[in-house]
Chains A and B, each alone.
Chain A
Amino acid sequence: MARASHPLTQSVQRSASHAVNGVAADQQAALLLGGYHSSPIGDALVAAALDSIADARSADARSADARSADSQAASDEVSADDQAGRLFRRLLASDRTGRLILGLSLPLIVLLAWQLSSSFGWLPDQILPAPALVWQTLQERIADGSLWGDTSISLLRVLRGFALGAAAGLVLGGTMAASRRLHDYLNPLFLAVSQVPTLGWVPLLILLIGIDEGLKNTLVALSVFIPVTLGTYQGIRDVPHAYREVGAVFTFSSTQMLRTIVLPAAVPAIFTGLREGLSNGWQTLVAVELLASTEGLGYQMAYGRQLFQLELVIAGMLVIGLIGFAFDFLLGRIENHLQRWKVAA
């Protein structure tokens, strides 16, 4: 079997399989040119881009699978040594099973260490409760419906705040993009507001509107509002002049121009803004619920912390992680659907 080749050649081979298919040009541009103003749209973009690269690479891995299957069939005589060597190479290579094993190994090791720690009592239960306890807590909470109750409360808050913030962001972003004059008037104020970290508004807002639903709605909406405005503004401004001229040449009215050319061209950037908005909104909600709430997932975690019942905290984190994943996944799907015309070459 061939020895590992020069590391440089390896990286060349690997990058060949990193075909950046399907990653939209605007995504790449946004990544390389940096985020917008104070709000890095890059995060959501990168997540999307990494996902599409993973897809491209899994396709590549499948063909690598086929190739390695061929070479295996060609050499039937194997010794025990060879088998061990092949297993090792499988782990290192882009083989699908190998990747799965590797990927799972770290979480499994962590889980093992965790279990050992609580079995041997290396850390007190208040610092690190046993995995079994966390699992039990989850089951209890599912069984008595409190998990669903908290989750739905948190989700509703996010969705409400998102709807509010996204609507406001679309309106402001669209307005500023449409009218240079309005942009000049409104942008400085917008910029000023966006420089302040979202949580920085908490003390002020608590003084003004207290700590009930209004606080959460406002904060979530604010954190959604900023990236959506930016995404909408950039998206509409960046519609290539070439396309606008096509509309002019066919004597489109303003409405037709908007519907047929401007909006479809702006959708990718607008959607990216929405994605980041949702991600921000979710983050903000968790923070606010931890800080000033009497119910919801965040509250449960704060409660658990106060009582030193970390199993509640960890259970909460797992659920939050799952929700984050679900949001990401769903929006990724919608984005792919909206952009199915961006067919890979």
Chain B
Amino acid sequence: MSAQAATSRGIRLWRAVALPLVLLAAWEASSHSGLVDPHLLPPLEDVVARAWNEGRNGDLLTALSASLGRDLAGFVLGAAAGTAAGLLLGFSRFAENLLGPTLRVHRQIALFAWVPLIAVWFGAGEPGKIAFIALAAFQPGLINIWRGVQEIPQRYRELAAVLTFGRLDFLRFVAIPAMLPAIFTGLKAALIYAWQATIGAELFMTIAPGIGGVMMQGRQLFQMDLVLLTILLLGLVGAGFNTLAGLSETLLLRRRLS
């Protein structure tokens, strides 16, 4: 058993990097061998050099921070609205009956189908993008919070009733703690959808700086190194979000006792 555990860390780490290393080596080899058009597959060092340059002149970083900025704005807006709606629908049967079906139908319409409409109503600048991102973050927040409320165990509700808790106390001592996992799931999902929407929005509404704009530019100018670089950045941001979400979840939920 312990022998198997030892196999784990060292060997598994090696296995994890094996394939990526092989691919990188193959990349280097093929781009230098002349077999592949250097436009399609620039050598590794070109990409690195590009990264270095972009880092120096800051254009890429500006674009990235613009993207992250509106991602955050849209996320906060949408997730807050979704959370509020979820709480409302969870706790009020009247609201549920009134709004539920409409929201269900709304969920069926593919997110990106809203792009033309939003572009016309809000324009293709900041308001439009942020509105779209907020829309993307809304449904995941809503669904998970709504579900979270419904899943508050019956026995906790009964306990609160027996202790004659007022509404505020109930929320504070019973409802919110019981719902924390659902809240986290909702926020995590909203974050992911918001980031996806940010990139999408920037591909469609290319006014104002943003990573999406940079990618489109790279495509138009056939600058593969730039395109590859931006994909790498996207991956890193995505990974960053996931790690952040995971860490905060572990931290904040660690103190919970089931």
Contacts and interface: CB of A to CB of B under 8 A. Distances in A.
| Contact between chain A and chain B defined by CB under 8 Å | yes
Contacts of A12: 154, 157-158, 161
Interface in B10-43: 11-12, 15-20, 23, 40
A290 B188 contact: no
Given A188-B16, A324-B109, A290 B204 contact: yes
A316 B164 CA distance: 52
A320 B115 CA distance: 13
A257 B96 CA distance: 46
Contacts of B216: 203
B111 A283 contact: yes
Contacts of A301: 113, 116
A320 B109 contact: yes
Contacts of A201: 231
Nearest to A19: B154
Contacts of A7: 167
Interface in A93-115: 93-94, 98-99, 102-107, 110
Interface string A175-206: 00000010011111101110111111111101
B182 A208 contact: no
A206 B217 CA distance: 12
B158 to A, nearest CB: 6
Nearest to A318: B109
A221 interface: no
A279 to B, nearest CB: 9
B200 interface: yes
A8 B99 contact: no
Given A8-B160, A103-B97, A127-B120, A324 B154 contact: no
B94 A92 contact: yes
A320 B234 contact: no
Interface stretch (B53-61, B75-83, B143-151): B143-151
Contacts of A189: 19-20, 23
Contacts of B91: 11
A316 B202 CA distance: 22
Contacts of A302: 116
B94 A40 contact: no
A114 to B, nearest CB: 13
B116 A38 contact: no
Question: 5 smallest A-B Cβ distances: which pairs?
Answer: A195-B238, A305-B116, A184-B15, A287-B112, A203-B219
7 contacts: A9-B161, A200-B231, A206-B219, A283-B112, A310-B120, A320-B110, A324-B109
Given A189-B23, A202-B215, A287-B112, 14 more contacts: A20-B150, A184-B15, A193-B235, A200-B234, A203-B219, A290-B112, A291-B203, A313-B116, A317-B114, A320-B110, A320-B113, A321-B109, A321-B110, A322-B108
